[in-house]
Amino acid sequence: MVETIREWRRRGVPYGWNWADVQHDLKTQGGLKDLMIDPTRMKPGLCAGFFKGQFFSLTWGYNNYASVSMEAKNAHLAEELAAGYAKVLEYEPFAKYTQGKGGVVTFEWRLNNPGAPLMRLRRRKDVSDLTVF
């Protein structure tokens, strides 16, 4: 896993990746040059920004899970963003799906036991176009 993702806590809250490191890692390791993380949209395990001018969000849990989401109308950009994120994480997503009525496309990673989240995704009525890799 990328060196700048760390398991550390501040006042009991897991942090582990600051916005500048997220941006740097995705640009340099992921090859996503036209990417900007918005520091005002940074929370523990969650951030948002713009890729090629389009809004996206990322989540992560140290050595556990990750996701990237973007509006479905920008699915081609979401694929490119997911490929770059996979390079940073050093493992591939286990699923891709659309949430809502064509609203948001999400790629999801699970380092351990993707079976449980997969069952949850299959039961959700707001999830469509589920692809398991």
> Is 4 part of any domain?
no
> Is the CB of residue 4 less than 8 Å from the CB of residue 21?
yes
Residue-wise pLDDT for 66-84, tens only, equals: 999 999 999 999 999 999 9
The range of the structural domain enclosing residue 52 comes to 9-132
Q: Supply angle C-alpha 50, 133, 52, rounded to 5.
A: 15
pTM score, whole prediction: 0.85
> Is 3 part of any domain?
no
Number of domains composing the chain? 1
Distance, in Å, from the CA atom of 92 to the CA atom of 82, rounded to the nearest integer, reads 9
Name residue 111's amino acid: L
Residue-wise pLDDT for 9-62, tens only, equals: 555 555 567 888 889 999 999 999 999 999 999 888 889 999 999 999 999 887
> Is 1 part of any domain?
no
